[in-house]
């Protein structure tokens, strides 16, 4: 199955720009940002219940590879086709290693600064609306994919989406408008469990109350084999530096 067919099957569109949630005239920075956000949402570590997560992550990497390659993008824009035999779509590429090379680490202060300006912004509204459409109103998946959000933010997130529905900017998916109380309660129990684990780790590390974010990050990393699911990973794209022109992703 070709890349366009895979996009249609996994993301309900064969338009590569729509897959990344960017306009056709998107800049390099906008492409990177769209790639980053979507890859976070579909990464296998973040979506353990999705049997197609690994395939989705690889497909998103290929979509970005095509659109970030000047020649490949020109062909796609003019002909609507993708050269499946091109080097940028190599089946041997380690897409997670490629991802890590694009998005280096940032500091905790960067996270705090970003969270302060991001919450309540129009950018957050747009991101939440995209998650809503991607997951067809499933609040479990929306909250998992939302940047800078904890369970305490759920009423605010729901209010943002409800306003968009009322304004007819979003369709009223039944999964959102008629979510069962049992599902809401289950999500709350899960969040409370994670909070208790973070607090226990905070005590274990001897951190002060104001260092609770550090404990939460460490707890998330401790609970996963990889650190991909940490809050730091969630925000790296906001501060990432573009690799030097001579840097190329290695093939495994």
Q: How far apart are CA 25 and CA 28, in angstroms?
A: 10
pLDDT 10s digits, 6-51: 999 998 889 999 999 889 999 998 898 888 878 777 777 666 667 8
57 has pLDDT over 50: yes
Q: What is the mean pLDDT of residues 151-160?
A: 93
pLDDT 10s digits, 180-193: 999 999 998 988 88
pLDDT value of residue 45: 66
CB atoms within 10 A of CB 3: 21
The answer to whether 167 touches 126, Cβ cutoff 8 Å, is no
CB neighbours of 144 closer than 8 A, spacing ≥ 6? 41, 46, 47
pLDDT band at 100 (very low <50, low <70, confident <90, very high): low
pLDDT value of residue 93: 64
75 has pLDDT over 70: yes
More confident residue, 98 or 62: 62
Q: How far apart are CA 153 and CA 148, in angstroms?
A: 9
The terminus-to-terminus CA distance of the chain in angstroms comes to 23
pLDDT value of residue 37: 78
Tokens 């939302």, residue? 146
**What's the Cα-to-Cα distance from 108 to each of 37, 50, 125, rounded to whole Å?**
19, 30, 24
pLDDT band at 165 (very low <50, low <70, confident <90, very high): very high
Q: What is the mean pLDDT of the chain?
A: 77
Report the share of the chain in percent with pLDDT over 90. 34
Q: What is the mean pLDDT of residues 221-235?
A: 43
Q: What is the DSSP letter of 226?
A: S
pLDDT 10s digits, 123-139: 899 989 988 998 899 99
Report the share of the chain in percent with pLDDT over 70. 67
Q: What is the mean pLDDT of residues 192-196?
A: 79
pLDDT band at 77 (very low <50, low <70, confident <90, very high): very high
Grouping H, G, I as helix, E, B as strand and the rest as coil, residue 126 is: helix
pLDDT value of residue 50: 72
Of 71-80, 95-104, 145-154, 216-225, the one with minimum mean pLDDT is 216-225
210 has pLDDT over 80: no
178 has pLDDT over 70: yes
């Amino acid at each position: 199955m070709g890349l366009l067919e895979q996009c249609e099957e996994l993301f309900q569109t064969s338009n590569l720009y729509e897959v990344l949630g960017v306009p056709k005239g998107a800049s390099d920075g906008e492409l990177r940002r769209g790639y980053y956000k979507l890859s976070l949402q579909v990464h296998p570590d973040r979506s353990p219940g999705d049997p197609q997560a690994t395939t989705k992550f690889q497909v998103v990497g290929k979509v970005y590879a095509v659109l970030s390659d000047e020649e490949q993008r020109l062909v796609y824009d003019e002909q609507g086709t993708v050269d499946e035999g091109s080097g940028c779509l190599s089946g041997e590429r380690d897409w997670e290693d490629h991802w890590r090379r694009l998005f280096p680490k940032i500091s905790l202060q960067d996270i705090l600064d970003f969270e302060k300006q991001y919450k309540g912004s129009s950018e957050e509204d747009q991101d939440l609306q995209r998650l809503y459409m991607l997951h067809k109103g499933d609040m479990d998946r929306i909250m998992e994919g939302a940047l800078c959000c904890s369970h305490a933010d759920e009423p605010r997130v729901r209010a943002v989406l409800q306003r968009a529905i009322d304004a007819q900017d979003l369709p009223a998916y039944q999964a959102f408008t008629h979510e069962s109380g049992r599902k809401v309660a289950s999500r709350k129990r899960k969040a409370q469990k994670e909070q208790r684990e973070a607090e226990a780790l905070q005590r274990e590390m001897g951190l002060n109350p104001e260092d609770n974010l550090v404990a939460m990050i460490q707890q998330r990393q401790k609970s996963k084999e990889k650190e991909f699911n940490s809050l730091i990973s969630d925000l790296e794209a906001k501060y990432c530096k573009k690799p030097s022109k001579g840097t190329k992703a290695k093939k495994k």
